[in-house]
A and B are shown apart, each in its own frame.
Chain A
Amino acid sequence: MNFSSIIALSKKHISAVVSIVVILACCAFSLLKLGEIDVLESQERDLSIEYGRVMKNLKYGNALTEDLASIEVLIEDAESRLFEVKDLAKNYDYFYTLEAKTGVTIAAMRQLSPKPIDARSRQNRKRRKAKYSSIGYDISVVGTFSQVVNFLRSLEGGAAHYNMGKLLIRQGKSKGESSQVEVNIGINMLGRKI
């Protein structure tokens, strides 16, 4: 079969030849555009997800400005009641005020120095992330049972953020003060991070 016979055959079946050319052109076009629509569809999917997220954030974020303002007020109030590690006099004054209010006698009081942070420990990693620090105190108090209970209640319900770690109560040693009790309290007060 030579070229002229192919031409002759083509002329004879012109519609079939044109169809084959169209089919081949379509195949080439398809190959060129292969995957294009998938990419567009995936883009559309991503955008519609983003649009949904935007709409949801806008819907639920309606009252955020008011919420933010009210939480700012709360934070301001709560932070005004934090201890400052370096402000020893003010910190001690907090306890002495409670002493005067409840009638106990603070026999000894010591602010503990913050423990150094070991980055390897999980607890300390948490401490690093914390916004506030915990300031430890060892306080020895002498008073009657009811005075001591009142002192503890004042600590628990006081302005400062308090957490009791340990508590030791013994009967007063002096014979004349048999109704007195000696209390040793280990507490942590929430303070500003250094």
Chain B
Amino acid sequence: MKVLSKKVEVAGIGWRPDFRDHESLPDIKVVRTSFFVSVAFMAIAVGFVAFLGFREFQKTGVEESISSLRVEIDSRRVEHTSRVDANRAFMERYSRIDEMKSTRADQMIGSDLLMSVGESLSPSMVLTMLAYSNDGIDLEGTMDVGAKEASELMDRYISTLKENEADQGRFQNYDIMSIQREGSLMVFKLSISGSVESKK
């Protein structure tokens, strides 16, 4: 400290200092600015060191965690590989079963189609032809009724077919293609088409 170390010139004959003349006043600072600057730098340095120390501590923790995870994984590696291989083999075999199932699934059951088409017929109707393909079902037959009743009978037949779900939910359009006289019988042609799936 340099308190009162500066030589003070006493101006004139006055017995007390002139407070307006800063230069002539004695240095009475208890703590100098340089002290604050040093303290500030030291604080920053300590902060940096603490931060780096914390980061290093954190890094060590992460490294320990990594090595313990590696040990855990390595200790289970053989068992895991064998289970993954087993799973792959299982999935491969499952895909085979699935392929077999899909061959049988979602197909028209021919016997059920024949039965429901036959059961839906009125006593005066005879079916002469049935053709099924993925595009639809074509039916041909005869009706031993007059021309007047023929269309009513066909409508009833169509509604019975729908009730019996003869198409097994595959088609949506039931169209009478023709009803015409052949001798004493009425010959009809019916088409069931319009895949339900294609509409979806």
Contact = CB atoms under 8 A, between A and B. Distances in A.
Contact of A169 (B48, B97, B129): B129
Interface size range on B against A = 35 or more
A155 B56 CA distance: 75
Contact of A130 (B44, B69, B99): B99
B99 A132 contact: yes
B93 interface: yes
B153 interface: no
Contacts of A109: none
A74 B15 CA distance: 121
Contact of A64 (B83, B100, B128): B83
Interface residues of A, number: 65
B41 A152 contact: no
Given A44-B69, A54-B80, A23 B45 contact: yes
6 contacts: A12-B34, A15-B38, A19-B44, A57-B83, A61-B84, A152-B111
Interface of B: 34, 37-38, 41-42, 44-45, 48-49, 51-52, 55, 58-59, 62-63, 65-66, 69-70, 72-73, 76-77, 79-80, 83-84, 86-87, 89-90, 93-97, 99-100, 103-104, 107-111, 113-115, 118, 126-134
Interface of A: 12-13, 15-16, 18-20, 22-23, 26-27, 29-30, 33, 36-37, 40-41, 43-44, 47-48, 50-51, 54-55, 57-58, 61, 64-65, 67-68, 71-72, 74-75, 78-79, 130-132, 134, 145, 148-150, 152-153, 155-156, 161-171, 185, 188, 190
